Amino acid sequence: MNFTELLRTAHHELEPSLIEAGFRRVSGAVWNRCKGDELSVVHLQKHSVEESFCVNLGIHYAFLPKEGSLSTFDGGQIEAPECVLHLRLTENPAAKDQWWPIADSSLHQIIDLVGTRGLPIFDMYRLDGPIGKIDGKSIENGDFGPLAPMTRIRACFLLARIHERMGNRDKCVEIAAIGLKHAGMAVGPQKALKDILKRLGKNF
């Protein structure tokens, strides 16, 4: 089996469960889901050298610019590298990376894992889920919860934007101020956080 054949099989065996969960295929190896502001991506990626593949999970929000761009989601499609968070689907919850051999048996594992681990991972980043409950004190203490893959300053910016979007003014101000305190010489993040605070009538 080669990767093209694996994708063909995925369209028949993996795609039905993704469609049931609200995803649609936007290219041969990429599925997107848009639920209000919440954007989710599943991407089967072939290794550049070896005969193996991984499953990328992308999490993004429609009110944020795509990574590496000034444009926001326009209702078309979004790729995993354009998401504010990119994770890998793994059998071991503690692992950060996993590659599978290109084979039917691997795809059967993936189908199970998408349902038992992949979809619950996306749930962690729902605006009304665990991510919305992270407060400034947690960030100060280094407890980033589901934002553990991010740096403190990126986590602060994302949380500030989320709370701004949700109308949680006090939480937004608290977290943006913490982000500024830890921004150091990072000019871009400093400006972005100050812009958020200015929109809320605060000057730092």
Mean of pLDDT over the chain: 91
Based on the fold, state whether residues 38 and 110 are members of the same structural domain.
yes
Return the pLDDT at 190. 87
pLDDT band, residue 204 (cuts 50/70/90): low
Based on the fold, state whether residues 157 and 110 are members of the same structural domain.
no
Q: What is the pTM for the complete model shown?
A: 0.91
Based on the fold, state whether residues 75 and 26 are members of the same structural domain.
yes
Based on the fold, state whether residues 105 and 174 are members of the same structural domain.
no
Based on the fold, state whether residues 28 and 116 are members of the same structural domain.
yes
- Its domain, for residue 113, covers 3-124
Based on the fold, state whether residues 54 and 149 are members of the same structural domain.
no
Structural domain total, the chain: 2
Based on the fold, state whether residues 154 and 71 are members of the same structural domain.
no
Based on the fold, state whether residues 180 and 84 are members of the same structural domain.
no
With 80 as the cut, is the pLDDT of residue 186 above it? no
Quick check: is 186 in a domain?
yes
Return the pLDDT at 17. 93
156 Cβ contact list (under 8 Å, min separation 6)? 139, 175, 176, 178, 179, 182, 193
CA distances from 20 to 27, 28, 46, 54, 161 (A): 18, 18, 25, 22, 30
Asked if residue 131 lies in contact with residue 124, where contact means CB atoms within 8 angstroms, the answer is: yes
For residues 144 and 149, what is the distance between their CA atoms, to the nearest angstrom?
8
For the chain, what percent of residues have pLDDT higher than 90?
A: 70
Quick check: is 204 in a domain?
no
Return the pLDDT at 61. 96
Based on the fold, state whether residues 113 and 151 are members of the same structural domain.
no
Return the pLDDT at 73. 78
Q: Among all chains, which residue has been given the structure tokens 């000057």?
A: 203
- Tens-place pLDDT, residues 97-124: 999 999 999 999 999 999 999 999 999 9
Return the pLDDT at 68. 80
More confident residue, 183 or 5: 5
Exposed e or buried b for every residue in 131-157, given b needs 16+ CB within 10 A? bbebbbebbeeeebebbeebebbbbbb
Quick check: is 168 in a domain?
yes
- Tens-place pLDDT, residues 7-59: 999 999 999 999 999 999 999 999 999 999 999 999 999 999 999 999 999 99
Return the pLDDT at 58. 97
Quick check: is 129 in a domain?
no
